[in-house]
Amino acid sequence: MGILPALLLGAVQGVTEFWPISSSAHLALLIHIFGWGEPDLSFMVALHVGTWLAVVWYYRRRLLSIVVALWREVRGNSRGDPEARLGGLLLLATIPGVILGAVFAESSQMMEGMPLLMTVTLAVFGLVLWAADAWGPQAKDSNGAGWREALAMGVAQGIALMPGVSRSGVTISTARAAGLGRREAADFAFLLSVPIIGAAAAYQGLKLVLDGMPADRIWPMLAGCASAAVTGYFAIGFLLSRLKAGTFRPYAIYRLVLAAVLLVVLVIL
């Protein structure tokens, strides 16, 4: 893969990883249209490292606050810190996501080649997002959630292994159904992506190190990683700013339109 395709795919990954519109569906559509062929594992790892860097940098102060609060809580220097409680919920939500990811990693890779499944999940979970956002109350912030809500959002991460679902989309839908406000649901989904994406990238990266990687892949990987990091950072900021007075309905409608386009391009043509 050349530098320009790597930059384009990285930019698309950065935006669609955080907007609830499915990164896998957009990458599949672009690859099919331009005939680039399926990206290898090393390139996909680089894209996910880029989005991980984006969310870590965007939430760097909040993440530091959570880590410090957790450390103080563990040492017994404080009790009942809201940031420590949020950190505990994020760690709890990470557990089912990591377990399901490890168990179903191979089957999720096989599902990537099923375009009809991708169009169905894109549409169905678009409707789920629409319904959860329209009918979900906005009574809780992230610290108002409990262990049940955290586990539910962790299990949702496992569902996101299916192509077309969208990790951020299904987490936001679950959070909204559990009563979190729109901004709080998005914040929790993005903060949860730090351990989830980090664990997945580390696991796949270890496989690359053990298997070896040709040197000619380095530059496309770096280009894709940088592009995903930059666009991902601005994608997070844009979505959060729109939620001040907006809803997730435009993203749900976009998913339905994209599902129709994918049906024509990937299945019929």
| pLDDT value at 141 more than 70 | no
Domain count, the chain: 1
Task: With cut-offs at 50, 70 and 90, classify the pLDDT of residue 131.
Answer: very high
What is the reported pTM? Answer: 0.90
Buried/exposed 238-248: b ≥16 CB within 10 Å, e otherwise:
ebbebbeeeeb
Percent of the chain whose predicted confidence (pLDDT) is above 70: 90
Residues 86-99: tens digit of each pLDDT:
999 999 999 988 88
If you average pLDDT over residues 126-143, what whole number do you get? 81
What residues are paired with 180 via a beta bridge? 140
Q: What percent of the chain clears pLDDT 90, i.e. is strictly above it? A: 54
- Give the count of beta carbons closer than 10 Å to the beta carbon of residue 257: 12
Q: How far apart are CA 64 and CA 68, in angstroms?
A: 6
Is it the case that residue 168 has pLDDT exceeding 90? Answer: yes
Q: How confident is the model at residue 109 (pLDDT cuts 50, 70, 90)?
A: low
Q: Give tens-digit pLDDT for 15-40.
A: 999 999 999 889 988 888 888 877 77
| Full residue range of the structural domain in which residue 144 is found | 3-268
45-49, 105-109, 140-144, 251-255: range with lowest mean pLDDT: 105-109
The upper half-sphere exposure of residue 116, i.e. CA atoms within 13 Å in the direction of its Cβ, equals 2
Short-list 234, 225, 181, CA closest to 205: 225
